[in-house]
Amino acid sequence: MKTQPKAILAGVSWLSRTWAGALLLSLVFSYNAFAQSVEKAETSQQARAADSELERAKAIVNKPQDNKPSKPETGRTWGVYSTTNTLELGYRFVDTKGSNERYLSDVNVRDGFRVLESSLDMRAQPGTGILFDFLHADVNNAGGDQSQNFSLRLDKTKWYRFDGNVRRFNYFRSPGPNFALGFRDYDLRQQVSDFSLRLFPQRKIRINAGYGRSMAKGRYNPTYSFQRDIFQLFGDTRWEANDYRLGLDATHRKWDFNVEQLYRQFRNDQEITSRPGGDLGFNPTDNGRITLLDRLTPQRSRSLVTRASVRGSIGDRLHVVLRGLHDDERMKAGYYEIASGRDNNGVTLVSNVLTLPGQGGIIERPSNKVDAGLSLDLSRHLTLSNTFSYTSFKIAGDTEILTTAIRQPATGPQTTTVSRIQATDYITDLTSYWNTLALDLNFGRKFSANVGWRAMQRDVKINSRYFVATSATSATNPALTDEGESIGTHAFIGGVRFRPTQQTSFMFDVEKGQNNNAFVRINPLDYTRFRARAQVQATDKLAFSGTFTSLDRTNPTPQVNNDSNSRSYTIAVNWEPRSRVLIDAGYDYHDLNARGDILYTTVINGTTQRVSGKSIYYARINSLYTNARFGLTNRLDMIMVYYYIMDRGAPAVSLGANDVVNAYPLRRHNPEARLAYRFSNHVTGNLSYRHYSYNEKDFSVQDYRSNILTSSLRFTF
């Protein structure tokens, strides 16, 4: 049943596999995030940190004649402040065997010294601090980990509140041989920063200011279609966006008002080259060759975004929310490319130059969005609500591409071909309306239910004048394009939440109808989604939860005929028999199958033929996790984590002659353990071990094994 030779031809079936890929990636990312928790899990002493904070708070407000509170385990009082400092320093030892590229794509943990955690917390009674009443600073995983976080918060009652966050990411992605021909990979350094200041936070009128910056730089290897073949290129990229915000909040009686102006600057500089010494492309037996390629694609844009909102109540029963946004964006894109090599007919391509003459491509993208919500309390238990959303945006611009190709045939003189493509008055115009009418029934925490109807109308229009010329002069006979589509969809939504006792709760909701977010001429997707969830607190120390989700989608377009069905089952248990013992465990099962019609070219009996068939994708993913903490002694804690993912791939199915089955069978497991020994209330030693094991059934070249040992000392004072 394996069809690896046809897998490349099944690229057009990507739509049918998108859900499964997103599902698997979400599990992988949550797997990585959870796998790090063994180093961040609370020890017994950290679990008692709230008690220490309470004791320090008592010391601050204690009057001289009062009895002194007991001394807390950690932290101290300094003047009017209750303070706590932590610092954890460590070193990672990493040993990896197998595919290093896949390991870096999934885990990306490397050797070296780390500041695993550093924090400072200072608190005073409101209004008693000198420059601030509250300060909290955090540093996590600094020194080279795949994700690093820095944060600072300052608060002075009645005067200001400041928040600053900086996050750094080492982003490495290698697709491997089973995706994108193994051609696309990235090695980027990313940073996202955000700083916000609110003045007079407790007053009726508040001023907001902020600055945000996002950037990335590094290497990436895109693919390039050239002379009917696909080539991998070498590229360096650096992009950044700077946001400046200024706004105002106000409160008057039962109404809240907000207005904000944002100004964004964006730049993207990319330089792409071909492989040194030439490139044979994906198909080394054809005539297409690249001996030299150099491309520059600088982009600059600026955007003005205005946001405003109003929220309040008219009387005691009618509640109103209104939000609006207007974005005025203008982008200028340059393009310069020079290539040489050999074309598909075997003729030497001396030079092929593509440029955007003049100012290059100029694009304007104005957009508007309005959200409005009304809710009317018909009675104490019954509420009627209506939410409306309007979205519109345009992509308007003019551009032209000038191509100059110089060819040298085997015999005869060189030839020069100049072509010009120009698009003017090019406009993509989208307008959409969403409206949801719902009736909610609420009897407090015991019982609630809702039923509603969602309607959507979307109109898309494309207008342009398109010129094609075989010389550098302007064309005189434009091709006029005027296309449009209008689609309306409807969906039913409903749900019930029932809590018969304080220890049990049940939830069920359903959504059935149509949805369409694709910008292509296909029919709306028919879908049905069910979800049920139960939570049971068996005892004060034992709790269970379970969830079932079902989602079926069908694309009724005859040329596509795509459908997918997904089932998800989740169960979890939490047991904490005493303060020094904690066990979490859970199991998930996800079953997805998707199929769609495909048309591709293949060789049958030495003849190239176009055939039609079906592309079928299966994912049967099992995942299991457990998380446990044991206080072995008053000073020694042991923390253990285990996470396992297994995709069984495709079952045995009957296939047609031209059908293709795709699956992604794999196994990966991640056991972890940590010992934390408290030498004193102020010093804790940690020794943690993590193991990563990854195995693909059909592509063992991507398998890897990794062992990570981290030793650290944590100081608390």
| pLDDT tens column, 160-209 | 999 999 999 999 988 776 666 667 788 999 999 999 999 999 899 999 99
Judge whether 583 and 639 are in contact, CB under 8 Å.
no
Please state the rounded mean pLDDT for residues 80-85. 88
* pLDDT band at 120; cut points 50, 70, 90: very high
Best CA proximity match to 72, nearest among 94, 56, 90:
56
List, for residues 39-52, the tens digit of each pLDDT value: 777 776 666 655 55
Q: Looking up tokens 């609500």, which residue turns up? A: 385
Please state the rounded mean pLDDT for residues 631-649. 92
List, for residues 426-477, the tens digit of each pLDDT value: 788 889 999 999 999 998 888 999 999 999 998 888 876 666 665 555 545 5
Q: Which residue has the higher pLDDT, 499 or 484?
A: 499
Using alpha carbons only, what angle is made at residue 632 by residues 630 and 635, rounded to the nearest 5 degrees? 110
Non-local (6+) Cβ contacts of 518 within 8 A are none
Percent of the chain at pLDDT exceeding 90: 49
Lowest mean pLDDT among 35-44, 265-274, 304-313: 35-44
Determine the pLDDT at residue 358.
60
CA distance 526 to 385: 25
CA distance 401 to 421: 5
List, for residues 373-391, the tens digit of each pLDDT value: 999 999 999 999 999 999 9
Is residue 29 pLDDT above 60, yes or no?
no
Which helix (H) or strand (E) segment holds residue 162: the answer is: strand 160-173
* pLDDT band at 637; cut points 50, 70, 90: very high
State both tokens at 361: 């491509």
CA distance 515 to 494: 17
Please state the rounded mean pLDDT for residues 568-591. 93
Lowest mean pLDDT among 273-277, 392-396, 582-586: 273-277
Judge whether 577 and 586 are in contact, CB under 8 Å.
no
Determine the pLDDT at residue 412.
84
* pLDDT band at 285; cut points 50, 70, 90: confident
The total of other beta-carbon atoms located within 10 Å of residue 235's CB is: 18
Question: Which pairs with CB-CB distance under 8 Å and at least 24 residues apart come from 345-351?
Answer: 345/287, 346/287, 346/410, 347/407, 347/408, 347/409, 347/410, 348/407, 348/408, 348/409, 349/227, 349/405, 349/406, 349/407, 350/406, 350/407, 350/408, 350/414, 351/404, 351/405, 351/406
Judge whether 261 and 246 are in contact, CB under 8 Å.
yes
- pTM, full prediction: 0.82
Is residue 622 pLDDT above 90, yes or no?
yes
List, for residues 387-424, the tens digit of each pLDDT value: 999 999 888 877 778 888 899 888 888 988 888 777 66
* pLDDT band at 54; cut points 50, 70, 90: low
Lowest mean pLDDT among 88-102, 320-334, 459-473: 459-473
Q: Which residue has the higher pLDDT, 352 or 493?
A: 493
The phi, psi pair for 271, rounded to 5°, reads -130, 125
